[in-house]
A and B are shown apart, each in its own frame.
Chain A
């Protein structure tokens, strides 16, 4: 018995000649929030559709809470709450009826359904819209209704396809807080192309492009793999000739030192390293004997966005 709530191996899905998902492995344990990242058309939604049982993979196996999704789909689906892309819902129904319908279909009895409806109204802040037809709600509230229907049966697994897409910054913030709140006892998979979202809520980032899995690690480990993207930039108001340039490069004990001419009288020294993050004080000490006039110094930490761009563009160029 595996403690992984989602365990998918060798997932493959093609549409005619187009390979949407190509041999992807993915496992998610309880308490994990996995951010599914990738450019548009990378295969994120297709993978999620396979994990939820909407699409059947051409190849590979999916186990949901140790239940084979293919051989016992009805049992496996009971453990999943799913928010499809665009949060579709029956727009002519009022919020309460819609959630009640999904709850009943999820097998909740009368009492537990009433309890869960009340919890959803409070937890997702839907009270004021409770008796309004869904078609009259704003995009933010529609998305909340989508989240509520995914959570109505308190599932162990939550699969959310772009849960914050189209929301304003406040709504995004609320949604992320909600995901954080409920993440402790669930396995959550979120697809997004907003990288700050992964940094904000995810314990692991999975990057896919062209249907292939390119990275699967914690945001911290991914940053460590791209240490050379951390750059120290020191601006000096000196003219730097070849001799001084050589001196600077020999004095600074980091892997990569570049000197760029900013304008007639100023230059910028760029320092990076493959194994460690360059330290500003150390560099300033190392070049102190050259008596350069340092006018500006800053450190650019590698962002998940750069990592994402770097990984996905490498894949495209291959």
Chain B
């Protein structure tokens, strides 16, 4: 078991350092911080709302992640397949599951770093008022969980192609579908012709529905189970895809 985790950690370590070996990490972090701040202060009207909370900050995360998570995850497998290094990895004494989990965790930790760097906004709101820090903490955790689901989806889809751009596009489109599943526009259109349980199922698959509840400070078990099972399902499919597509 120790050896199993150790090899997963070695892969994680290489991948995580890989982000920082190229300008990718700095560019991504800068873009993430600029966009999240811009959306919070300008689109979210942080000051005009005159409320000591971070709703204006977190409400844009699903849309931000829709583009930024595929940007982080698109290279995970597409690049291995393009450069042929997948042949090196698969012939090492390591399972496909260790490879997939190690790579995914690296990208997820990288997202954690990005979220951590938004701390000044949290500090600012504490300086200006008395926010419910419990809700903010839950929102941060929920945001990270949602990012994990986006990343697992991207990692899985990135194993389908050798082209990072294609991986990015199909991941963004899939993510968009999963967000829109909770949108009132979509739900009301479905509600008009389908039984209630179908609408409920579609709504329960939505990242937006789950994340909206988290933002209000409601972190129930179903949300945790949803995101975790979404991550596990995508990674399981990822393992199967690596096995099937490795030699294409």
Contact = CB atoms under 8 A, between A and B. Distances in A.
Interface residues of B, number: 22
Contacts of A49: 87, 247
A92 B21 contact: yes
A91 B14 CA distance: 13
Given A54-B246, A80-B91, A105-B10, A92 B22 contact: yes
Given A49-B247, A88-B85, A91-B83, A77 B22 contact: no
Given A84-B87, A88-B85, A88-B87, A105 B247 contact: no
Given A88-B83, A92-B21, A105-B10, A149 B88 contact: yes
Contacts of B87: 49, 54, 82, 84, 88
Contact of A74 (B88, B93, B246): B93
B27 to A, nearest CB: 15
A106 interface: yes
B225 interface: no
Interface in A176-210: none
B129 interface: no
B91 A53 contact: yes
A82 B91 contact: yes
Interface residues of A, number: 29
Contact of B10 (A53, A54, A77, A104): A104
Interface string A57-77: 000000000000000011101
Contacts of A93: 14, 18, 21
Contacts, number: 65
Nearest to A81: B91
B84 interface: yes
Chain A binding site: helix, strand, loop or mixed by DSSP? loop
- Of the listed residues B10, B83, B92, the one surrounded by the most CB atoms of chain A closer than 10 A to its CB is B92
B93 A106 contact: yes
Contacts of B7: 105
B84 A86 contact: yes
A87 B246 CA distance: 17
A92 B84 CA distance: 14
Contact of A107 (B3, B91, B95): B3
Nearest to A55: B247
A78 B93 contact: yes
B94 interface: yes
Given A88-B83, A91-B83, A101-B14, A107 B88 contact: no
Contacts of B93: 73-75, 77-78, 105-107
A54 B92 contact: no
A53 B10 CA distance: 21
A60 B94 CA distance: 23
A136 to B, nearest CB: 13
B90 interface: yes
Contact of B90 (A53, A91, A92, A107): A53
Interface string A107-127: 100000000000000000000
Contact of B247 (A54, A80, A104, A149): A54
Contacts of A105: 7, 10-11, 92-94
Contacts of A75: 93
A55 B246 CA distance: 9
Nearest to A87: B84
Interface string A284-317: 0000000000000000000000000000000000
- Of the listed residues A53, A77, A88, A105, the one surrounded by the most CB atoms of chain B closer than 10 A to its CB is A105
Given A49-B247, A74-B94, A89 B18 contact: no
Interface string B12-47: 001001100110000000000000000000000000
Given A53-B91, A105-B10, 7 more contacts: A53-B90, A75-B93, A77-B93, A84-B88, A88-B87, A90-B18, A105-B92
12 contacts: A52-B91, A53-B90, A54-B247, A73-B93, A74-B93, A82-B91, A84-B91, A85-B84, A86-B84, A89-B85, A93-B21, A97-B17
Q: Can you list the 7 inter-chain pairs with the closest CB atoms, starting with the nearest?
A: A88-B84, A84-B87, A77-B93, A52-B91, A74-B93, A88-B85, A92-B21
